[in-house]
Amino acid sequence: MTEADLKPAAARQTGDFEPEQKRYLEGFVAGVQIAKAAKSVAGGAAAVPAAPEPVGPEAAALKAQNRVLAAGGKLSDPEKFKREQHPFDTYERLKEHAANGEYPKPPDNFRWRFLGLFYVAPNQNSYMCRLRIPNGILKAMQFAGLADLAERYGGGYAHVTTRANIQIREVEAPNAVAMIEAIQDLGLCSRGSGADNIRNVTGTPTAGIDPQELIDTRPYTREWHFHILNDRSLYGLPRKFNVAFDGAGTIAVLEDTNDIAFQAVQVNAGFGLSPGVWFKLGLGGITGHRDFARETGVLVQPKDACLVADAIVRLFIDHGNRTDRTKARLKYVLDAMGIEKFVALLEEKLGRKLDRAQPGAVAPRPAFSRTAHIGVHPQKQAGLNWIGVVVPVGRLSVAQMRGLADVARDFGDGDLRLTVWQNLLISGVPDAKVAAASARIEALGLAIAANAIRSGLVACTGNTGCKFAASDTKRHAEEIADWCETRVPLDTPVNIHLTGCHHSCAQHFVSEIGLLACKVQANEDADPVEGYHILVGGGFGPNAALGRELYRDVVAAEVPRTVARILKAYLAHRASRGETFLAFTRRQDIDALKAMTKLEAAE
């Protein structure tokens, strides 16, 4: 359809269009005219008069797209999908598909991720539904309600994710609308949990109960959560966007792997700033692309965090890549312009200068614990405890979900707190009830104690439910644990993360042992088989570094034995019992590590 065709059509049908449709049409025509004008100027012809500027919540995103077109560039397919129809305007079509038992074609499969539904064929001919749970905290009633929904509309189980969230899989087409509406009945939602949106906001899982925390992150994650939900203009991003608030609690949040990292720090008196707790601002973390959040030197008062995050997101909307999806994250905006220029634009957007940390202004942060997400730990409230429950590779049956909800209600304060380590905490358990609560948890087939292997074992969905994954990560993670826990007398925790593809949902680059799935060509005549590249020495926080590749193309069947040999080499050659696996691997070069590992028996 040409521009000439569009204008009469718009004039005839405007009365039938919704306001959002009219705004889209204005933006579409503007883009056509801008592109045409650019070509005319290049050829020496008279320029076409400028079209009206886009208006409404999508204006900034439409203008960003228009600039790409005016420069002779092309939009990626997802950008075209959003431009053709805003995902939030497709709900009636989703209802029609549900009524007819139909699954979407690619454009709507992308759009309906804005509603929290992911059609994951061919791995599963069904939807996955992902929620939004600010700070990862929900009530026992909500958790039990999700179990009911997983049983009624899903596959009878749920996954705890690495963003302290819940995913329910195997939702068939007729149940799609019923699922997302029933989630809202529970006081939860799935809006904006996928595609080019700000994802679930994470915070310290022990917020408000942690003896060492500097600040309770719950009010700030909640404010940001509702700010996103109620501002449609924040859904025009070039790509997904992650935000984390770390209150300096005992359990790490991995905030430095997020696009925006708010890290609580204590500011000392005498440095030109109000003494007290501030957030240190980091930007551009995305370890799947080999980058941690960068230091900005900026300190943000907690009351201003939402405002600052809003301005950062709007800069990303303006400057993010709309053509190449592989370069469409905030990291690449920072790579292109530099952190100082970005902060200058941020100050311009805010209309004020930001506060900077002077040397000596910020006190050292308290250290996190490697094991505080598992087992019984005292809260700041005298006589109360949280219990960290092991959730093997993040999977819970509906019976286990209902049982955990009962434990939280009967023995705790009614809260269940999800962590980025794919497990959960039950908080507010009195000293006198710890034993009974622990027994009830263990009766569900779950544990509150874990060996050094299972306590740090993390795996993404894998190829049973994700089309990008090259291997069955959850099954292989269990095989690693089963093999190693009886053969390696490990006396200190070692994180082992398995991720199925380059998106790195399981954060393999920051794990002490990270496994990235691949296909391995065992021989010329056979089909490729599942396997992994194995990395060592990754870390986060004060130990932040990307893992180094130790082995490449290890077939999955050999991975448990290979990991066992790596761990045995550590035990045999560490400088002392106090030397961590991380310290050991970092003081060795790769060839030396290979030689040590080769000496260990595989059994």
CATH number of the domain to which 442 belongs:
3.30.70.3340
Asked whether residue 366 is assigned to any structural domain, the reply reads no
pLDDT at 7: 40
pLDDT at 274: 96
The DSSP bridge partners found for residue 540 are none
pLDDT at 33: 54
Q: What are phi and psi of 17, to 5 degrees?
A: -85, 145
Residue 95 or residue 287, greater confidence? 95
**For 378-406, what is the mean pLDDT?**
97
Residue 349 or residue 509, greater confidence? 349
pLDDT category at 300 given cuts 50, 70, 90 is: very high
Q: Coil, helix or strand for 527?
A: coil
pLDDT at 348: 98
**For 540-549, what is the mean pLDDT?**
91
pLDDT at 455: 84
Tell me how many domains the chain contains.
5
Give percent of the chain above pLDDT 70.
91
pLDDT at 603: 59
pLDDT single digits (tens) 130-189: 999 999 999 999 999 999 999 999 999 999 999 999 999 999 999 999 999 999 999 999
- Domain edge (last residue) among 40, 73, 106: 73
- Same domain membership, residue 228 and residue 143: no
pLDDT category at 113 given cuts 50, 70, 90 is: very high
Asked whether residue 498 is assigned to any structural domain, the reply reads yes
Report whether pLDDT(21) > 70. no
The rounded Cα 287 to chain-centroid distance in angstroms is: 11
Q: What is the CA radius of gyration of the chain?
A: 25
pLDDT category at 36 given cuts 50, 70, 90 is: low
Instruction: Quote the CA–CA distance of 544 and 377 in Å, as a whole number.
Output: 26
Count of other CB atoms within 10 angstroms of residue 556: 22
The DSSP bridge partners found for residue 243 are 260
144 HSE (CA, 13 A, CB side): 13
- Same domain membership, residue 410 and residue 287: no
- Same domain membership, residue 158 and residue 93: yes
Residue 9 or residue 526, greater confidence? 526
pLDDT at 37: 46
Asked whether residue 80 is assigned to any structural domain, the reply reads no
**For 254-259, what is the mean pLDDT?**
96
pLDDT at 525: 79
The whole-model pTM stands at: 0.89
pLDDT at 194: 96
Instruction: Quote the CA–CA distance of 198 and 325 in Å, as a whole number.
Output: 16
pLDDT at 59: 96
pLDDT, the chain, mean: 91
Report whether pLDDT(24) > 90. no
Number of residues assigned to the chain = 603
pLDDT single digits (tens) 474-507: 999 999 999 999 999 999 889 999 999 988 898 8
- Same domain membership, residue 484 and residue 468: yes
pLDDT category at 13 given cuts 50, 70, 90 is: very low
Q: Which of 507, 498, 504 is CA-nearest to residue 479?
A: 498
- Same domain membership, residue 148 and residue 47: no
Asked whether residue 177 is assigned to any structural domain, the reply reads yes
Asked whether residue 207 is assigned to any structural domain, the reply reads no
Residue 450 or residue 107, greater confidence? 107
Domain containing 230 equals: 214-247+253-356
- Same domain membership, residue 121 and residue 62: no
pLDDT at 136: 98
pLDDT at 48: 52
pLDDT category at 40 given cuts 50, 70, 90 is: very low
- Angle (CA) 477 482 487, round 5°: 125
**For 39-65, what is the mean pLDDT?**
74
pLDDT category at 45 given cuts 50, 70, 90 is: very low
Asked whether residue 362 is assigned to any structural domain, the reply reads no
- Domain edge (last residue) among 29, 48, 73: 73
Instruction: Answer whether 334's CB lies under 8 Å from 294's CB.
Output: yes
pLDDT single digits (tens) 223-243: 999 999 999 999 989 999 999
- Same domain membership, residue 509 and residue 398: no
Asked whether residue 268 is assigned to any structural domain, the reply reads yes
Three-state SS for 306-319 is HHHHHHHHHHHHHH
Distances from the Cα of 539 to the Cα of 319, 354, 505, angstroms: 30, 30, 16
Asked whether residue 552 is assigned to any structural domain, the reply reads yes
**For 183-208, what is the mean pLDDT?**
98
- Same domain membership, residue 519 and residue 550: yes
Extract the tokens encoding 435: 């034993």
Q: How many helices (H) and strands (E) does the chain have?
A: 18, 21
- Same domain membership, residue 308 and residue 233: yes
Give percent of the chain above pLDDT 90.
83
- Same domain membership, residue 113 and residue 66: no
Instruction: Quote the CA–CA distance of 293 and 255 in Å, as a whole number.
Output: 8
pLDDT category at 15 given cuts 50, 70, 90 is: very low
pLDDT category at 52 given cuts 50, 70, 90 is: confident
- Same domain membership, residue 476 and residue 590: yes
CATH of the domain at 181: 3.90.480.20
Sign of CA dihedral 155, 159, 163, 164: positive
One-letter identity of residue 308: V
- Domain edge (last residue) among 410, 431, 450: 450
Give 466's contacts (C-beta < 8 A, 6+ positions apart).
Answer: 120, 123, 460, 500, 501
The DSSP bridge partners found for residue 484 are none
pLDDT at 49: 59
CATH of the domain at 321: 3.30.413.10
Report whether pLDDT(11) > 80. no
Q: Which of 208, 312, 302, 217 is CA-nearest to residue 255?
A: 217
- Same domain membership, residue 532 and residue 474: yes
